[in-house]
Amino acid sequence: MTKETLFTDLTKASNSLLQLARELSFNTISDNCLYIISEIPNELIDAETKRRISNRKNRTKKPVELNEAIADIEILYPILHDLNLVIYKSKKNLTIIDIRYFSRNSLELEYRKLVENNTPMLHSKVSFPPYHKEGEKVGINWETGNLRHHWNMFRLIFTARRME
């Protein structure tokens, strides 16, 4: 991914993400997309705490069109190591895609020197909750902490404690 091909690459990755999400979830996924940008922190904390912190920050962000998001990404381009596109929230008429970036500055010094001339990587991802079973479709909005997610987490914890 180069600075010149950002729009094309992000458009293709967004379409790929929407297609992947439709295959793996039971939600209606709209083609009408808006974007938010967030940094992937280099912190050693558990996934659930990371998810909660990320959601708290994302709730305050105003989703924008792809062109506006690209303008921000172009500013960040010199320090970008990795871009991950993840569906933050999907409604019937709107899908909000979170463009998560990992900065080269977060890398260890030795590895940073190895990859400093590499172009940033680009990935489309659909995340699964801890209670997900192989082959089962997922609720794409689980990361926002909806009622279904809380119920399934309660069931998972209750089942795990009964097995102890």
pLDDT of residue 99: 96
Q: Which residues in the chain show pLDDT less than 70?
A: none
pLDDT of residue 45: 85
Beta-carbon neighbour count of residue 159 at 10 Å? 10
Q: Residue 84 corresponds to which tokens in the numbers above?
A: 């991950």
Bridge partners of residue 124, in order along the sequence: 85
pLDDT of residue 90: 92
Could you give the CA distance from residue 87 to residue 134 in angstroms, rounded to a whole number? 20
pLDDT of residue 20: 94
Domain-wise residue ranges, the chain = 6-163
Could you give the CA distance from residue 151 to residue 147 in angstroms, rounded to a whole number? 6
Could you give the CA distance from residue 133 to residue 158 in angstroms, rounded to a whole number? 17
Q: Which of 14, 7, 138 is nearest to 86 (CA)?
A: 14
Q: Over the stretch 7-41, which tens digit does the pLDDT of each residue have?
A: 999 999 999 999 999 999 988 899 999 999 999 88
pTM above 0.85, yes or no: yes
Q: Residue 122 corresponds to which tokens in the numbers above?
A: 């680009």
Beta-carbon neighbour count of residue 39 at 10 Å? 13
Q: DSSP per residue over the chain, as a string? A: --STTHHHHHHHHHHHHHHHHHHHBSS---S-EEEEEEE-------HHHHHHHHHHHHHTSPPB-HHHHHHHHHHHGGGEEEEEEEEEEE-SS-EEEEEEEEEGGGS-HHHHHHHTTSPPEEEEE----TT--TT--B-TTGGGT-HHHHHHHHHHHHHHHHH-
